[in-house]
Amino acid sequence: MIALPFMAFGVIFLVFFLMSFSKYDPAVAALGENATGAQLEAFRHEMGYDKPWWSQFWSYLVGLCHGDMGVYGVNKDSVSERIGQAFPITLQLTFIGLLIAVVIAIIFGVLAALYRDTWVDQTIRVLSIIAIATPSFWLGVLLIYVLQIKLSWLPGAGPLVPFSQDPGAYLERMAMPTFALGLPVAGQLTRIIRTSMVEELDKDYVRTAIGAGVPKGVVVARNVFRNALITPITTLGMKIGYLLGGAIVIEVIFALPGMGTAMFDGINGNEPTLVQGVVLIVALSFIIINIVVDLLYVLINPRIRTV
């Protein structure tokens, strides 16, 4: 938490520094190729693009301290409003993908641990390796080709209908991108849960409880599973950060109006304020989510609570 403002400053500085090397003129991108030289100069002066990049950087920092993330484009659209519309979509995509990953990982991780060294364990191990090695963007393209183009089962593009308005249409639209996003993480979590469950099953208290007549299912559900989740939860923050980054690419592939599409538009139009705002919010979200997951780990770990 102490490092949060320093990391935010580093993100802002890095993006501004990299965007300063762009060969594209934001005035031309906003006004078009047919704009006159006077119009281009007036636009650059009005938006501050004629100043050195360090002067623009300082002006942006001052505005950010006052809650102003700037404007972009010829219409001077608000960056904050664009992010306010795009960020909820990215969060929905991220957390639905996380839910899919966690459900798949718990089911297959527990089965692999309970039937270790059998054909069930070996099959799940192979499937998890395949899932880990599958890039989410490649899987997204494959799903579009098979489920939309060939079979016409699910839509890969089009408007995103709110869940409250039409739950069925919403789930159909989000099915492919969330699955493509969550499957690689499911493979990673499956391996982690399986290893953690095996280590917990080999402990003395499990053998003692089963030897005393407690059903194995009760021991696994009440004690083993809960203790085995401590290790996966410690890695959950990093997985959520991976999902946030992957969601940006997935949104472009599936034409979802989230943070990825906003960043893509900002890069194509050489709009540094828009790119800066998107990167800043995603980076801060990643840091804050890791802080929350660390606090959750402290709450569920009895040894840390005792200390």
Please indicate, yes or no, if residue 78 is contained in any of the structural domains: no
Same structural domain, 109 and 197: yes
Please indicate, yes or no, if residue 83 is contained in any of the structural domains: no
- Specify the pTM: 0.79
Q: Which residue has the tokens 């290790």?
A: 231
Output the CA angle 111-114-127, nearest 5 degrees.
Answer: 35
Same structural domain, 167 and 108: yes
Same structural domain, 132 and 58: no
Same structural domain, 35 and 181: no
Same structural domain, 64 and 121: no
**Residue ranges making up the domain that contains 296:** 90-304
Same structural domain, 41 and 120: no
Same structural domain, 62 and 194: no
Which tops the pLDDT comparison, 182 or 59? Answer: 182
Name the percent of the chain lying above pLDDT 90.
16
Q: Which two tokens stand for residue 176?
A: 């492919």
Q: Which two tokens stand for residue 224?
A: 């083993």
Most confident stretch, 23-32, 116-125, 149-158, 285-294: 116-125
Same structural domain, 95 and 177: yes
Convert the pLDDT of each residue in 140-199 to its tens digit. 999 999 988 888 888 888 788 888 888 888 898 899 999 999 999 999 999 999 988 888
Same structural domain, 128 and 271: yes
Helix (H, G, I), strand (E, B) or coil at 51: coil
Please indicate, yes or no, if residue 75 is contained in any of the structural domains: no
136: CATH:
1.10.3720.10
Same structural domain, 203 and 170: yes
pLDDT class for 304, splitting at 50, 70, 90?
Answer: very low
Convert the pLDDT of each residue in 80-123 to its tens digit. 888 888 999 998 998 899 899 999 999 999 899 888 889 999 99
Phi, psi of 222 (to 5 degrees): -85, -35
Please indicate, yes or no, if residue 84 is contained in any of the structural domains: no
Residue 107 has a pLDDT of: 92
Give the integer Cα–Cα distance in Å for 165 and 86.
18
Q: Is residue 66 pLDDT above 50, yes or no?
A: yes
Give the integer Cα–Cα distance in Å for 112 and 185.
17
Same structural domain, 115 and 241: yes
Report the number of distinct structural domains present in the chain. Answer: 2
Count CA atoms within 13 Å of residue 199 on its CB side: 13
Strands 71-72 and 77-78: antiparallel
Q: Is residue 77 pLDDT above 60, yes or no?
A: yes
Q: Which residue has the tokens 């990215």?
A: 90
Same structural domain, 29 and 125: no
Please answer whether residues 259 and 83 qualify as being in contact, where contact means their C-beta atoms are separated by less than 8 angstroms.
yes
DSSP H helical segments within the chain, as ranges? Answer: 4-19, 26-31, 37-47, 53-65, 79-114, 119-133, 136-143, 167-201, 204-211, 216-219, 225-228, 230-253, 259-268, 272-300, 302-306
Please indicate, yes or no, if residue 85 is contained in any of the structural domains: no
